[in-house]
């Protein structure tokens, strides 16, 4: 028997405010043996999901007594400007050497 009965995948693209309607923000869900289906945002004057809307929807859906796993495709990182203004040597100090490969490029 699987550990989860419901699977949610979120493509979390877009760099706007939490209330911006983002075309690249998509939600898919599968349960049982059914293939995944896209979950559309609740009816509103916005065509696409907002980050806040996804968070509120997740709170609601995860409060149900259904074993669920959620995967979010999102590249969590420092802002690009941070990397543009720091040297690889400086990054190595704060990241414990993680940026050392950057110095080789």
Over the stretch 40-99, which tens digit does the pLDDT of each residue have? 998 888 889 998 899 999 999 999 999 999 998 876 666 666 666 766 655 555 555 454
pTM for the complete prediction? 0.68
Tell me the two tokens of residue 18. Answer: 């939490």
Domain identity same for 49 and 84:
no
Q: Are 30 and 11 a contacting pair, CB within 8 Å?
A: no
Cβ neighbours around 48 below 10 Å, total: 15
Domain identity same for 9 and 45:
yes
Q: Are 68 and 6 a contacting pair, CB within 8 Å?
A: yes
Domain identity same for 63 and 12:
yes
Domain count, the chain: 2
Q: Are 36 and 28 a contacting pair, CB within 8 Å?
A: yes
Range of the domain at 61: 1-74
Give the C-alpha distances (Å, rounded to integers) separating 101 from 80, 88, 105. Answer: 17, 9, 7
Domain identity same for 94 and 59:
no
Domain identity same for 67 and 82:
no
Domain identity same for 64 and 25:
yes
- 3 against 105, higher pLDDT: 3
The pLDDT value recorded for residue 85 is 74
Paired with 11 in beta bridges are 26, 73
Domain identity same for 39 and 12:
yes
């Amino acid at each position: 028997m699987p550990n989860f009965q419901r699977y949610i995948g979120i493509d979390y693209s877009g760099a706007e405010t939490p209330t911006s309607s983002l075309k690249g923000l998509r939600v898919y869900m599968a349960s049982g043996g059914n293939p995944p289906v896209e979950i559309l945002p609740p009816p509103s004057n916005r065509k696409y999901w907002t980050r806040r809307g996804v968070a509120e929807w997740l709170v609601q859906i995860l409060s149900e007594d259904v074993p669920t796993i959620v995967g979010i495709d999102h590249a969590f990182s420092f802002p690009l400007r941070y990397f543009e203004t720091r040297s690889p040597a400086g990054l190595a100090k704060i990241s414990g050497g993680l940026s050392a490969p950057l110095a080789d490029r």
